[in-house]
Amino acid sequence: PPKVRAEALRACGSLVKPLEAAVHQGEADAKDASEVAGSVFAVVHGEMVQGEADLEVRETAIGAMAMLLAKLGDHPLRQGGPAAQAALEVMAKRLRNEVTRMVSLRALTRIVSSPRLPATALLAHLDAPTLRQYLRSTSSPLKHHTVQFLTSLCKRIQDEAKSEGVDMEDTKKGDGGAKEGAATAAAAAATAATMLASLVPDVAVHVSEKDLYLSRLSLDLLGEVLVLTKGQQQQGRAQGATTAAAPLLSAAAAETIAVRVLMFIRSPLIQGAALDATIRVCARLAVTPVAGGEGAARQKAKGAADGGDWLGLPPLCSRLMHGVDSKLPERNYAAVARCFAAVVAAAYDAASGDDSA
């Protein structure tokens, strides 16, 4: 019966923690635990691939598989069961299903937040059109979960790129394996940056006072995307002219972020975490490179730093001050001042870094 199968899948999820302890910590019975883990993987995967009509069974199977992948992944000691890529492929199909897309988003967020699987394993199964459709949905929970997932993905990509970047410095002596790992991480970061940059307009539109929670989540994501795109540009410089050009944020996407942020900062409701996220976005937006020759020409005309490290838009400080008028609520003066200070500090730090380089 479906109810019994659903409870059995929950029991499989409950086994993950003791199995993880046995497999990863090298206990005496690690071999037995590895065989059990493989059997559990096979059972849960079998339930996922079935065209089960019962929603509870489908959801519990997805949740159990998410716990297994997040805790065990493709551990070399695991014996039996499907490969992680096979499980992720099925989960990606469930993500495109209207009935299971919410639980799939939560599952993928759990997986991408875990270090057991590289982000490259997940990127191969994601497509921007599906995520863009969810960002444009009328369902608030769906938009919340989509933005949270993208934020977790962006942070994970950055963490992997940083760790491989350290290895890359050590590979100048000829460590081929480390060079290969660094190249894989760089390719994953480039793929993620391109996909996330294409979603910026659909994320930025949610920065408003209509849904402060969604606004804060969207600002967090936009801030991480700005960090990722700038990091890609800096990595391209460090690797020299022979490396393919790093993906940059388009001037139109950057302008969309700026417009939404400048509108949001005038809201009398802005405070707390939403305000802090707004300040971070302003600071990162001021020093993020953008694509487009016209933007570069404008930034030089305005006296911005050389090298393309400044946003190709009218200086944010001028736009922030232009928004201060008699209609602005008194409490928003402090918000504008904090954003102004953050932009100046970020620009100074970026210029100092360029000078030292």
Q: Can you give the three-state secondary structure of 130-177, one letter per residue?
A: HHHHHHCCCCHHHHHHHHHHHHHHHHHHHHHHHHHHHHHHHHHHCCHH
End-to-end CA distance of the chain: 67
Over residues 120-130, mean pLDDT: 86
For the chain, the average pLDDT equals 79
Six-digit token pair at 205? 């539109």
Distance CA 321, CA 339 (A): 10
Tens-digit pLDDT profile for residues 204-236: 999 998 999 999 999 999 999 998 888 776 665
- Tokens 């008028």 sit at which residue? 325
Please indicate, yes or no, whether the overall pTM of this predicted structure exceeds 0.85: no
- Residue 10: CB atoms within 10 A of its CB come to 13
Tens-digit pLDDT profile for residues 165-210: 643 334 344 455 555 656 666 777 778 888 888 899 999 999 998 9
Q: Which of 35, 274, 180 is nearest to 15 (CA)?
A: 35
Tens-digit pLDDT profile for residues 42-98: 888 888 888 766 888 889 999 999 998 888 876 655 566 677 888 888 888 899 988
